[in-house]
Amino acid sequence: TTAGTPGGGVVGSGTTDASGKFSFHLDSTPTGPVAIVISGGSYKSETSGKTVTGTSEMCAMVVDLSMGRTGLSITPLSDMVCKRATTLAGLGTKLGKAIGDADTFISGKFGLKAPPEGVEPIFTSTELKSSSDSGKLALILATLDALRDSGTLGSTGDDIYGALSKDYSDGLADGKDGGIGIPLGTGTLLPSTALTTDFAGALTKVPGSAFGDTALTASDMVNYGSGVTT
């Protein structure tokens, strides 16, 4: 870090396994906040079961990694935290505080009690119905997945997640980053409604099968999703 802003060298690297789990050893001991960034690979869509190729980097930030860390979850929401924290740090907030402020901001927007990077998404109807953070995060990810597959935003690629993170980087869900439109594919800009009405609409496209319960209906998804559309 330099003056509290992101920067510096690589302190370790690794590769995820087939289920997305990862671990790595630190090559050097970091003295400040660390960003863990994933790129490439592929994964299975929560809503359609199709294979999706990763085209957008995703990040999770940790204030202190000097003693190691377990249970870190890298998702589109943790990436939103990264982008928001980076913006705050660029405005003069020390990076450690910027991460905490960004955690509070993104968690609040999606109804989570804990920072997104500390929550493991669990795709079961039991977790969904309990309104736990794990169930909520799973529903959020499934909704973002459905939003991507729907083509509503003008693209069905994985780059949608990077664009959504940029949307929240300035603290506003308006399809812009600091007043500038966010590119989404060739000649396409992220709609101003992406993180509001488009996200809410995608809830009805999440199948109950994503949570192992084919009896769950579109209305159920809206009801269970009421806490993540704040």
Question: Residue 3's pLDDT is what?
Answer: 42
Q: Round the average pLDDT of the chain to a whole number and report it.
A: 91
Per-residue pLDDT at 2 exceeds 50: no
CA dist 135 and 127 (Å) reads 4
Question: Residue 67's pLDDT is what?
Answer: 86
Lowest mean pLDDT segment, chosen from 10-24, 68-82, 160-174: 10-24
Q: Is 161 helix (H, G, I), strand (E, B) or coil?
A: helix
Question: Residue 133's pLDDT is what?
Answer: 97
Q: Tokens 């190691």 belong to which residue?
A: 68
pLDDT above 70 covers a percentage of the chain that reads 96
CA dist 7 and 158 (Å) reads 25
At 71-116, the pLDDT tens digits run 999 999 999 999 999 999 999 999 999 999 999 999 999 999 999 9
Question: Residue 6's pLDDT is what?
Answer: 61
If pLDDT is split at 50, 70 and 90, which confidence band does 46 have?
confident
pTM: 0.94
Strands 34-38, 58-62: pairing kind: antiparallel
